[in-house]
Amino acid sequence: MCKKLLGLTHPTVSLNFDLTDKGRVLSVMIDDRFPSEDITVGEDGKWRLNFVFNQAGDRTILIAIDDQSLEIKFKVVPVAQQNNLASTNPGAKAITLSGSVGVGGVNKANDLKAVKARLQELGYTWVGDPNTPTRDRGLEEAIRLFQSIITGSSTIKGDGRVDIDEMTHQWLQAANAPKWVLMPKSDPDNGFINGELAQTEDKHDFGTHWLADVIQAITQDYQNTYRDTHPNAAHFAINDVSLPHGGDTPDHHGHETGLMCDVFLPKKDGKFGGIFWTSPEYDQDAARAILKSIRKQKLVRAIFFNDSELIGEKLCTFASGHDHHIHFEINPPVRS
Ligand SMILES: [Zn+2]
Ligand SMILES: [Zn+2]
């Protein structure tokens, strides 16, 4: 059974049986309506059934093997709702420091290791080996990038030092500390194209997981509110975010801290990019829907795009250089 996923979860149910059960056959019934027979328990005692739920709500699975059966009740929730619950946040981590770390810091060995380990785990992999207490340029650059992110700066700022109990130290320990990640991959069936990942000569693929989550939420909203009813409309297609290690990029002003994203303009033929908002191929209705989906995200603080009609609708603001793409940027969330 493989139906189109309408923004709903498709959990994988997996139960372990004794190894002696291998090769035995079980049957599964979902909601008294969808039977699956002949599921064989594998070598490792595991079995698997893929099933896509097309509606949210309370559901029941009945698993039967010979004369035994087991009923499991669970809830199917929409992906958008699930994203808020099961976020991609890294989780809190206590980092006890006996002195400051970084540029001009005390830099005790164990403190250095603890800060490097946390940054490494968050995706700032260029800090170097967290098991050695060395302090090289990579660590200082990573601390500066981290500081720029948590203050919402679009360019690299910060003193490169973690001071005890001050903002950088607190954010490093936060449950929603910013991870440095590759931006989401294209998912054309759900209306999303990452044009940047397809351009091998261009490396602006990285950013914060905060931005990655916002991009996923925009994709979902644009799909649900517009593309489901306009299946031939262009995808939500993103271009530049930030360089692999953040920092100065010759291509744009800003875009250094993984909080900013450029979006290609939708075209009436369902393709995107390579046009201006004044071009006859420009699909203003799709652009309006994309802007509305961007604006719904509470972290979004600014959208630059020069379509005067859409500016008149208060969906975006004018900024020079934004006649052929939409630029949006986010604020850091509240620390948790
Ligand atoms: Zn750009
Ligand atoms: Zn931009």
Tens of each residue's pLDDT in the chain, 336 residues: 332 323 333 344 444 455 467 778 888 888 877 787 777 777 666 666 766 666 677 888 888 887 788 888 777 655 444 444 346 999 999 999 999 999 999 999 999 999 999 999 999 999 999 999 999 899 999 999 999 999 999 889 999 999 999 999 999 999 999 999 988 988 999 999 998 666 655 567 889 999 999 999 999 999 999 999 999 999 999 987 777 777 666 555 678 899 999 999 999 999 999 999 999 999 999 999 999 999 999 999 999 999 999 999 999 999 988 999 999 999 999 999
Alpha carbons 152 and 15: distance in angstroms, whole number: 44
**Predicted confidence (pLDDT) per residue in 123-135, tens digit:** 999 999 999 999 9
Please answer whether residues 208 and 259 qualify as being in contact, where contact means their C-beta atoms are separated by less than 8 angstroms.
yes
If you measure from the C-alpha of residue 118 to the centroid of ligand 2, how many angstroms do you get, rounded to a whole number?
A: 29
Q: What share of the chain is helix, strand, coil (3-state, %, to 5)?
A: 25, 25, 50
If you measure from the C-alpha of residue 262 to the centroid of ligand 1, how many angstroms do you get, rounded to a whole number?
A: 5
The length of the chain in residues reads: 336
Name the amino acid, one letter, at 226.
Y
Residue 8: what pLDDT? Answer: 33
If you measure from the C-alpha of residue 41 to the centroid of ligand 2, how many angstroms do you get, rounded to a whole number?
A: 52
H or E element at residue 264? strand 260-264
If you measure from the C-alpha of residue 247 to the centroid of ligand 1, how many angstroms do you get, rounded to a whole number?
A: 15
Alpha carbons 282 and 273: distance in angstroms, whole number: 9
- Identify the burial level of 262 via C-beta atoms within 10 angstroms of its C-beta, where 0-12 means exposed, 13-18 middle and 19 or more buried: buried
If you measure from the C-alpha of residue 252 to the centroid of ligand 2, how many angstroms do you get, rounded to a whole number?
A: 7
Name 65's Cβ contacts closer than 8 Å, sequence gap at least 6.
17, 21, 24, 25, 26, 27, 41
- φ, ψ dihedrals at 275, nearest 5°: -135, 175
Nearest to 88 by CA among 240, 214, 238: 214
